Amino acid sequence: MKAPSLLAEARAARFSGVLPPDLLNSHPVAVIGTGAIGAMIARLLVSMGVNRITLVDGDTVALENLGTQGWFHGDLGQPKVQALSHDLRNRNPEVKVVCLPEMMTADRLKLIPATAAVFLCVDNMEARRLIVTSLWARKRKPQFLVDTRMGLETGVTIPITDQERYDHYLSEWFPQHKAYAAPCTAQATYYTAAKAGSRAVECYAHWLRGSALPVKVHDGMLEAECQFSLHGDR
């Protein structure tokens, strides 16, 4: 692995004791869905020094996204992945960004690097199941996959890192018609996206260090309910 640059070392100076740059960049990252949570995750990771990231989303930046997803006014009308790519390169000029301005389908998952840590940030239950099961069907399964969700003031984070967690995830899946019946733009707050994105990145940092992960984290506005793994493994 290439040694971290002086810029990368300086960027990580205040957290390298718990997450050194070489560990942070031991896997490329893929963010599927670059709305409120996905964009936040990408900004956090790249600001910390992640230097390889793939962005997947077929949407464009709309007016209703400005207050909930952190876009600039000049981003309006642009593909989200392109606007986010520009943002990320301003934060970290060393980052290599691959943009896929399309909705993810099973046959397009081959564009996601086999070794990538995958952050799943889509707002449809069928799409979540399709992506998770398709990734898990690969000969080389993802080592780290996390499903993130949010409402107006609530967030859910579900890390999937082994077969037991995968089976548990499928056992709790429910179809879209049983989900909250409103578009993501109708029920969202930027502070909830910040919290949900931070929780997903926190899970990734703990996984990189080999620490135990929760089975699921449910964050409310004024309370947090955490269900922790019974095992000390990843």
Q: Which of 33-42, 106-115, 182-191, 222-231 has the highest mean pLDDT?
A: 33-42
CB atoms within 10 A of CB 43: 19
**What pLDDT was estimated at residue 96?**
97
The answer to whether residue 110 is domain-embedded is yes
The answer to whether residue 234 is domain-embedded is no
Whether the CB-CB separation of 201 and 218 falls below 8 Å is answered with: no
Q: Which domain holds residue 125?
A: 6-228
- d(CA 162, CA 85) in angstroms, rounded, equals 31
What's the angle, vertex CA 174, arms to CA 202 and CA 66, rounded to 5? 55
Least confident of 35-44, 114-123, 149-158: 149-158
The answer to whether residue 208 is domain-embedded is yes
The answer to whether residue 164 is domain-embedded is yes
DSSP conformational letter for 4: P
- Tell me the average pLDDT of the chain: 88
Return the closest-CA partner of residue 48 out of 13, 79, 81.
13
**Helix intervals (H) in the chain:** 6-11, 21-24, 36-48, 66-69, 80-91, 125-136, 163-172, 190-208
Residue 28 three-state SS: coil
**What pLDDT was estimated at residue 221?**
63
CB atoms within 10 A of CB 119: 27
The answer to whether residue 124 is domain-embedded is yes
The answer to whether residue 169 is domain-embedded is yes
The answer to whether residue 32 is domain-embedded is yes
* CATH number of the domain residue 37 falls in: 3.40.50.720
- pLDDT tens-digit map of 75-133: 999 999 999 999 999 999 999 999 999 998 888 888 999 999 999 999 889 999 999 99
Grade residue 207 by pLDDT with cuts at 50, 70 and 90: very high
Whole-model pTM? Answer: 0.90
**What pLDDT was estimated at residue 225?**
52
**What pLDDT was estimated at residue 232?**
46
**What pLDDT was estimated at residue 9?**
83
State how many domains the chain has.
1
Whether the CB-CB separation of 111 and 99 falls below 8 Å is answered with: no
- pLDDT tens-digit map of 158-202: 999 999 999 999 999 887 665 555 554 457 899 999 999 999 999
The answer to whether residue 170 is domain-embedded is yes
What's the angle, vertex CA 45, arms to CA 186 and CA 162, rounded to 5? 85
Share of the chain above pLDDT 70, in %: 88
Question: Sheet holding 117-120: strands in order across?
Answer: 96-100, 52-56, 29-32, 117-120, 145-150, 155-160, 214-219, 224-228
What is the dihedral sign for C-alpha 69, 74, 77, 79? negative
